[in-house]
Amino acid sequence: MDHVTLIQLFTLFLLAIPIGIYAILFGGALFLSLPLFQILFPGALVGSIVSNIKVGSVFRNGMALYGGREALSFSFNKTTKVAIPLVLGTIVGSLGIISLSQIFIIPILIIAIIVTEISGTTISLIPNYFYTFLAFLTGFYIGIFGAGSFVSIVALLHIKNTEKNIAKIRMEALLLEFILAIISVSIFFFGGRINISVAFAWTAGSLIGGYLGGKIVKHTAKLSSKKQKYLLRITFALALIIALWNVFAR
């Protein structure tokens, strides 16, 4: 991403808006963001693509945290049990992909799809003695990609914080996701993988899309969970098709 044109930046900004709306309404926007970056920047490393996408996520989650700050509570002793392995896993995962070529996006996407499909249910069935290692693996996954990770963090927190209501657990999970994204972005930044112009264009469009998505959610009924799952699976297929085309057909 050393030589970025104004057309690429403007295209990125414009398309970040509908993707930001999609993120608020349905989730799973990383599966749309990744193919967009692959098309616009076909020679970019995986670390460069993921890092610039995550910058937008950091600011969008920061706004969500600010808006819901009244519901945020933090149990230090219980949350530390999941936070420390999550942080360590995120550091290892981010360092692991910083210089990977785009061919590795295909296995990363396959892992991401599996995690998104099974994460919440599977984590609740994991034995307690496996908890720390699972938290580390979740952090590792967040470091390399992170789509669907919010559900995994909520499930991990729920196991250790059974007395809390789900709204507070979700806010705590959002805070952890925000912190982990900052750690990951910092690693990519010091590794020279973040293009300030690209990150700014993407973040600006994402914030506008996130704001509009919040307005739309208030005034329209959400799709049923079954239809949302079908829609998410369409994004899975789209992301995989573009990844395969970008690696093998170009």
Kindly give the parts of the chain with pLDDT less than 70. 1, 27, 64, 67-79, 119-129, 160-167, 217-228, 247, 249-250
pTM above 0.85, yes or no: no
Is the backbone of residue 192 left (phi > 0), alpha (psi -120 to 50) or beta? left
pLDDT tens for 44-80 read: 888 899 999 989 888 877 776 776 665 556 555 566 7
pLDDT, residue 78, reads: 61
- Measured CA to CA, the distance from residue 38 to residue 45 in angstroms comes to 10
Q: Where are the beta strands (DSSP E) in the chain?
A: none
Domain residues of the chain, as ranges?
6-249
pLDDT of the residue at 70: 58
Average pLDDT, the chain: 80
Give the pLDDT score at 162. Answer: 57
Read out DSSP for 137-194? HHHHHHHHT-TTHHHHHHHHHHHH-TTS-HHHHHHHHHHHHHHHHHHHHHHHHHTT--
The pLDDT value recorded for residue 250 is 55
pLDDT value of residue 176:
87
How far apart are the C-alpha atoms of 226 and 62, rounded to whole Å? 29
Give CA–CA dist 58/64, Å, rounded.
10
Residue 11 is predicted with a pLDDT of 95
pLDDT of residue 126: 67
* Calpha distance 242→36 (Å, rounded): 9
Q: What is the pLDDT of residue 5?
A: 92
CB 203 within 8 A of CB 62: no
How much is the pLDDT for 28?
73
Q: What is the pLDDT of residue 93?
A: 92
Largest CA distance in the chain: 53
Place of tokens 């706004």: 63
Confidence (pLDDT) at 42:
86
